[in-house]
Structure 1
Amino acid sequence: MSVINTEIKPFKAQAFKDGKFVEVTEADLKGKWGVFFFYPADFTFVCPTELGDVADHYEEFQKMGVEIYSVSTDTHFTHKAWHDSSETIAKIKYTMIGDPTMQISRNFEVLREDEGLANRGTFIVDPDGIIQAMEITAEGIGRDAEDLLRKVKAAQYVRAHPGEVCPAKWKEGEATLAPSLDLVGKI
């Protein structure tokens, strides 16, 4: 079952952010854009490259009113230890949620039950808590923060401009489409 256009389910979790342990719930997202960035595990190989890439673009996400939440089934203590020991992870300023109960990973349907690990999953959540976009990749396929930025901009544009849609490879400032009978068969 797809989670697109569904409201995120309630959760409560411990996280590591800005050198502190904090509690995060679904209520923290209300009224804001959010990205949930699931990854299999701390102290691995592809994961730090992805998390570092998102960290390098975090300021840009913030300017767009988007909060980033990375999530793995590790604990918030493990996130801190990784943050303290890895130059790449030390750059992270966004919230790193621990999901040792696997509730959040199950809620977003990315949990590998037989392994207790999350798949690589990215979810764009609108200010109403509705999932607008998702991407799931296999273990060895890393994601690109610049493409995620593009998708968030498209989701924000579509929300702000009802009746318009963003075509493939759309970038901010480019032409959009207004679906109508006149366009059928002409694209």
Structure 2
Amino acid sequence: MTTIINTTVPEFKVQAYHDGEFVTVTNEDIKGKWAIFFFYPADFTFVCPTELVDMAEKYDKFKAMGVEVYSVSTDSHFVHKAWHDASESIRKIKYPMLADPTGALSRAFGVMIEEDGMAYRGTFVADPEGKIKLVEIQDNNIGRNADELLRKVEAAQFVAAHPGEVCPAKWKQGGETLKPSIDLVGKI
């Protein structure tokens, strides 16, 4: 299996539902800022709304960090709007809900389940240059945690701003980092 870490976000152009409107989102829109692509199987399901609301509750924190969140499913932008209109929970979402009815974006990120016509739960974080810095893909029965993703984005932003430093396990903003060197080998 080939990794996509440090590769560039693929070119794409999709429709989205955002702020009560249908908009077009492309790979050009993510340049110059951090971006999260948050793939999920389908609208009107069970685990998906719990995750999307969890992200919605952290959206202001992500925005304050210069991060845009893009949820993505193989549903159409029309279905995203219908779900938004039908669900009190989904009305909390302020980030763009990308539509991938052809599965092209899901395939490009390696999360498409061909036999089901939907995506795995995939989370991808891209830096302002469009390089993918974090990838997590999990089975669709396992929900994700926006707090943990927030922590990981903070770590990714820290190491991007501090070359030569790395963040150890469970690192949180303001915590101690490490400066890898031969002097540390075998002493941690």
**TM tier, smaller:** over 0.9
1:183 paired residue number: 184
In structure 1, C-alpha distance between the alignment counterparts of 2:89 and 2:145, rounded to whole Å: 16
Name the TM-score, length of structure 2 as normaliser. Answer: 0.99
Instruction: Give runs of aligned pairs for residues 65-84 of structure 1, distance below 5 A.
Output: 65-84=66-85
Distance 1:5 1:176 in 2: 22
SS in structure 1 at match of 2:115: coil
* C-alpha distance in 2 between matches for 1:2 and 1:116: 23
How far apart, in 1, do the equivalents of 2:140 and 2:111 lie? 12
- Aligned residue runs from structure 1 range 153-168, under 5 A: 153-168=154-169
Letter in 1 for 2:176: A
Give the superposition deviation at 1:162: 0.3
Using structure 1 for the length normalisation, give the TM-score.
0.99
In the other structure, the counterpart of 1:61 is 62
- For the residue of structure 1 that corresponds to 2:25, the secondary structure is strand
CA shift at 1:113, angstroms?
1.2
Q: CA offset at residue 116 of structure 1?
A: 1.0
The Cα shift of 1:101 comes to 1.1
The whole-number CA distance in structure 2 between the counterparts of 1:101 and 1:44 is 19
Which consecutive residues of structure 1, in runs of 5 or more, have no partner in the other structure?
A: none
State the partner residue of 1:5.
6
Name whichever of 109-118 and 13-22 sits farther off: 109-118
Question: Where does residue 173 of structure 1 map in the other structure?
Answer: 174
- 1:52 is matched with 53
Deviation sequence 1:5-44 (CA, Å, 0-9, x none): 1101100000000000000000000000000000000000
Q: 1:95 matched to which residue of 2?
A: 96
37-46 or 109-118: bigger deviation: 109-118
Amino acid at match of 1:57: K
What is the count of residue pairs matched by the alignment? 187
Q: What is the identity, as a one-letter code, of the residue corresponding to 2:135?
A: M
- The aligned runs of 1:129-140 (5 Å cut-off) are 129-140=130-141
For the residue of structure 1 that corresponds to 2:129, the secondary structure is coil
Q: Which runs of 4+ in 1 moved over 6 A?
A: none
CA shift, 1:137, in A, is 1.3
Runs of at least 5 residues in structure 2 that lack an aligned partner in the other structure: none
SS class of match (1:136): strand
SS at match of 1:57: helix
Query: In structure 2, what is the equivalent of residue 119 of structure 1?
Result: 120
Residue 106 of structure 1 deviates from its aligned partner by 0.7
Matched, 1:41 2:26: no
CA positional deviation for 1:139: 1.0
Aligned identity (percent) is 64
